[in-house]
């Protein structure tokens, strides 16, 4: 009995060892899959059937081969936002000698779209990668891999690159076991995709200033000398916090650009008043086709230099209303930068008959929204442009400042003061109290008090004398009566 109990325990332990490792491996695989999806990588949407697909990828989707072309559909989804909601896809078809495809450069940009799937039953936010691959007339049956290299930039500015492989089955060609044809074959010449570039961008104003509206004329040029560009759509993207598009649409349609030709498109936009001074890009995405119907996509930038208006305010110069010859007084100025850009080398020069400043009042560079003051010592001399050596004089103070490109601006204000003789008396407000004057004040106060006291004593004496006289008169009157 004990023997059978031991055997049963051993069997239970062995069963647990067989079951738990497998469960742990499955858990690790599940964690690995969820972790990979959390990183934000692009994945193929294998659950839905898109236009041009007979089946979803999970049901065994195979690209269609018909009329000498392969229609390749690869729907990609991502669990995080990508910059400009766009990806760039390039195809690697393999060795040009053995592949069934006509050797061309396949590279396009695709944007995030809301796409109807499953015959319109659902809507999915995805990047639908669509290529039409031309097949060689002389091709062999088989399964050929097509490698898609996808590049994008995530919301944090990190570059992303992934590769996906889709197999194309060719069944309408020749078998590899067949003997090669004896007839001479000529290889199809290689054709290159036409390139459309942003050649120039001109604005309706000489300077684009923050807070103003402007029209941009953008010139696009077809660099190909043999292929025309047809059915082109241009999409403009600008930084919304700095630019507001005033045109009715951000998309413009261009019917065709001949080989080596160009075209001009226009956009109206407003530069927001808070836009910092500097250079910005207007991004253009161009989707078009060549004369054979092949689809291409290009992008380029139009540069715009934004200026900020300088706005300076200067308070009137502070200088005494009256000055005396041979005095040295202080002149003070205050400057305020009310604009949104830095102002450089702020300074002031004072000029007046009878006033000789030591030099220039230098304040220096001023950041936006700051207030700074400057002062200088001024020597007072007699008037030279007047009939009198003393009297009123008018002068000017000129403020100078520069922008970041070194362009200089000036503002001039007038001021006045009176030059007095050095022997003229000064008011109490103009000269400080001198030590020792307090006792003079005290003597005056004591004198006033003494005068008041004497007056009171004299008045009291008069009253006492008046009372004695009345008593004598009364006694004399009594004696006469008796």
Q: Is the pLDDT of residue 273 over 50?
A: yes
Q: Say which range, 150-159, 339-348, 408-417, has the weakest mean pLDDT.
A: 150-159
Q: Is the pLDDT of residue 264 over 60?
A: yes
Q: Say which range, 237-241, 393-397, 431-435, 456-460, has the weakest mean pLDDT.
A: 431-435
Do domains 196-307 and 312-420 share one topology? The answer is: yes
Segment 373-397 shows an average pLDDT of 93
pLDDT class of 27 with cuts at 50, 70, 90: very low
Q: Cβ contacts of residue 148 below 8 Å, gap of 6+?
A: 74, 89, 90, 91, 92, 129, 163, 164, 165, 166
CATH architecture of 43-170: Sandwich (2.60)
Q: Is the pLDDT of residue 8 over 80?
A: no
At 337 the pLDDT is 95
- Span between the terminal Cα atoms of the chain, in Å: 174
Tens-place pLDDT, residues 396-432: 999 999 998 899 999 999 999 999 988 875 543 444 4
pLDDT class of 208 with cuts at 50, 70, 90: very high
At 438 the pLDDT is 54
Residue 362 near residue 333, CB atoms below 8 Å = no
Dihedral (Cα; 26, 27, 30, 32), 10-degree rounding: -110
CATH topology of domain 196-307: Immunoglobulin-like (2.60.40)
Question: Which residue ranges make up each domain of the chain?
Answer: 43-170, 196-307, 312-420
More confidently predicted of 4 and 162 = 162
Q: Could you tell me which of 153, 104, 152, 95 has the C-alpha nearest to residue 131?
A: 104
Tens-place pLDDT, residues 68-80: 899 999 999 988 8
Counting every residue, how long is the chain? Answer: 482
At 12 the pLDDT is 55
Beta bridge partners of 417: 393
Distance CA 416, CA 349 (A): 15
Pick the CATH number of 312-420 from 2.60.40.10, 3.40.50.2300, 3.40.50.150, 1.20.140.10: 2.60.40.10
At 138 the pLDDT is 84
Distance CA 76, CA 254 (A): 29
């Amino acid at each position: 009995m004990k023997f059978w109990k031991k055997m049963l325990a051993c069997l239970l332990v062995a069963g647990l060892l067989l079951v738990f490792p497998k469960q742990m491996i499955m858990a690790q695989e599940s964690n690995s899959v969820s972790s990979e999806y959390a990183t934000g990588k692009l994945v193929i949407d294998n659950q839905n059937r898109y236009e041009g697909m007979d089946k979803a990828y999970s049901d065994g989707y195979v690209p269609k081969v018909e009329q000498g072309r392969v229609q390749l559909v690869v729907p990609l989804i991502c669990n995080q936002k990508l910059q400009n909601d766009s990806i760039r896809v390039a195809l690697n078809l393999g060795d040009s000698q053995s592949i069934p495809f006509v050797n061309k450069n396949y590279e396009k940009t695709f944007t995030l779209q809301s796409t109807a799937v499953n015959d319109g039953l659902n809507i999915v936010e995805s990047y639908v990668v669509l290529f039409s691959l031309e097949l060689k007339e002389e091709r062999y049956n088989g399964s050929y891999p097509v490698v898609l290299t996808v590049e994008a930039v995530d919301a944090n500015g990190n570059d992303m690159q992934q590769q996906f492989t889709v197999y194309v089955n060719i069944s309408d060609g020749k078998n590899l076991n067949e003997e090669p044809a004896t007839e001479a074959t000529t290889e199809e010449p290689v054709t290159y995709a036409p390139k459309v570039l942003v050649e120039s961008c001109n604005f309706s104003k000489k300077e684009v200033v923050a807070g103003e509206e402007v029209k941009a004329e953008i010139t696009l040029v077809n660099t190909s000398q043999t292929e025309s560009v047809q059915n082109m759509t241009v999409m403009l993207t600008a930084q919304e916090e700095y630019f507001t598009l005033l045109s009715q649409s951000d998309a413009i349609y261009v019917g065709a650009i001949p080989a080596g030709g160009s075209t001009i498109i226009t956009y109206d936009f407003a530069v927001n008043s808070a836009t910092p001074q500097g250079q910005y890009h207007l991004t253009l995405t161009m989707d078009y086709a060549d004369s054979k119907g092949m689809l291409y996509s290009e992008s380029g930038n139009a540069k715009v230099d934004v200026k900020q208006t300088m706005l300076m305010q200067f308070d009137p110069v502070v200088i005494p209303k009256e000055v005396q010859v041979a005095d040295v007084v202080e002149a003070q100025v205050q400057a305020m930068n009310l604009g949104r850009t830095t102002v450089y080398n702020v300074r002031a020069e004072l000029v007046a008959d009878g006033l000789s400043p030591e030099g220039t009042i230098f304040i220096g560079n001023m950041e936006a929204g700051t207030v700074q003051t400057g002062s200088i010592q001024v020597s007072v001399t007699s008037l030279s442009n007047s009939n009198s050596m003393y009297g009123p004089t008018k002068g000017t103070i000129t403020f100078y400042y520069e922008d970041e490109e070194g362009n200089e601006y000036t503002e001039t204000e007038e001021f006045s003061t009176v030059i007095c003789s050095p022997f003229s008396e000064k008011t109490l407000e103009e000269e400080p109290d001198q030590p020792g004057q307090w006792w003079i004040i005290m003597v005056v106060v004591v004198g006033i008090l003494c005068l008041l006291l004497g007056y009171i004593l004299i008045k009291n004496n008069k009253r006492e004398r008046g009372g004695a006289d009345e008593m004598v008169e009364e006694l004399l009157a009594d004696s006469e009566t008796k």
